[in-house]
Amino acid sequence: MFDATKEYALKLDLEDESKKFRDRFYIQNDLIYMDGNSLGMMSIDAETCVNRVLNEWKTLAINGWSDAKIPWFYYAEELAKKMSKFMGTSENEIIIHSSATINLHIGLSIFYKPEGIRSKIIMDELNFPSDIYAVKSHIKSLGYEVEEVLELIKSNDGKTINEDDIINSFTNEIALVILPSVLYRSGQLLNIERITKEAHKKGIYVLFDLCHSAGAFRHELSKWDVDFAFWCGYKYFNNGPGGVASIYINKKHFDRETGLAGWFGYKKESQFDMKLDFVKSKNAGGFQISTPHLLSMAPLEGSLNIFEEAGIDNLRSKSLKLTDYLIFLIEKKLSKFDFTIGTPKEHSRRGGHVALEHDDAIRINEAIKNNNIIPDFRFPNTIRLAPIALYTSFFEVWKVVDIIEKIMMNEEYKKFDDKRSTIA
């Protein structure tokens, strides 16, 4: 299917119809960026929207809430309309809001209502720690013992979670299932539709953390009948460091109460009546807490404009080709140095990055960085490489593997310490 020559990589770039979008991003010519699954790169479109909102603040001041190009009062809803196209939802099932972990707390406040023996929560032991911290704190706040309520599905290989093990854990004691769509270390993609369907058969609500899948491929959250989902915007959606996150809630749950009410969840047309009794909007916006982060939403507007132009399915197709090519090159050129791949190879089970594993990953990762490549290390032995469809070239993928091969042949990595830095 592929070959390992430089010329072939350049040929793939010539044939790539989406390469024009690369010019919309600020890319340093002497640097290869392979960490877009942690922080997406800045686009000209994002910068333009930020500058516009800043200028609106400068010239309109408080009147920006009503008189801005997109009135600030409706900014979250307008961006949600754009976002809904990529997440497979109706426009009012999404709201742009706060941060991912805050949104998880909101989901817990809506759906975790332990009653009788149905009091347990299912998660997995490979989940991103922030989600675990949030759930444990919520359990404690309700007066339960974490050990009695939280069940973590075990991994059989330390990389992936068996979906059958998840589904087999669904008993009448389970109140809620909280899972990632894509495991942050290995890049394993779970079958969201299957898990949701099986959970609902047992009367269990399902919450999904989509941080490592939103913007990487098309979701069909409404079709899959997911109850609640949340995701950040700073990875594949390129919304900038700490960029605003999003909430999805299935419309069948619009009448539910939230345990974390705030004034921006109030019925919008009467929000400024300032009455002391909370009247929730009958849509996803009703689960907001506080004033939207305007300067954080602005870059998301610019990024979503690019996504509308590029097409999420086109981006997924290129992403799979990029990671297929990366996997091919790793197996062809790096397996002789005892590298292994921790990411499932099947397209239906793969997110947007490839987990490259090695016992000396810490030192190898430092050597890679020393060669003007930005990878991403995850303890204890994983180097995550994320070629992003909007701005990574096939030649860059080839060059990354070529450089790693030279690092190993020259034993360059041995010059570095085997202790990771504070920020990995």
To the question of whether residue 209 is assigned a binding role by annotation, the answer is yes
CA distance 334 to 417: 22
Q: Does 313 appear as a known binding residue? A: no
**CA distance from start to end of the chain:** 34
One-letter amino acid for residue 92 of the chain: N
Indicate the burial class of 5 (C-beta count within 10 angstroms; 0-12, 13-18, 19 or more): exposed
Q: Are 198 and 177 in contact (CB under 8 A)?
A: no
DSSP class of residue 317 equals H
398 marked as binding residue: no
Residue that the structure tokens 């759930």 belong to? 135
Could you give the CA distance from residue 340 to residue 46 in angstroms, rounded to a whole number? 37
DSSP 24-44: GB---TT-EE-BTTTSPPPBH
Q: Is 105 annotated as a binding residue?
A: no
Number of Cβ within 10 Å of residue 145's Cβ equals 9
Tell me which residue of 180, 185, 212 sits closest to 384, measured CA to CA. Answer: 185
User: Is 263 one of the annotated binding-site residues?
Assistant: yes
Q: Judge whether 196 is annotated as a binding position.
A: no
Dihedral sign of CA atoms 366, 368, 373, 375 in order:
negative
3-state secondary structure of 414: helix
380 assigned binding-site residue: no
Asked if residue 13 belongs to a known ligand binding site, the reply is no
Annotated binding site for pyridoxal 5'-phosphate: 101, 128-131, 209, 212, 234, 263, 291
Which residues are annotated as part of the binding site?
101, 128-131, 209, 212, 234, 263, 291
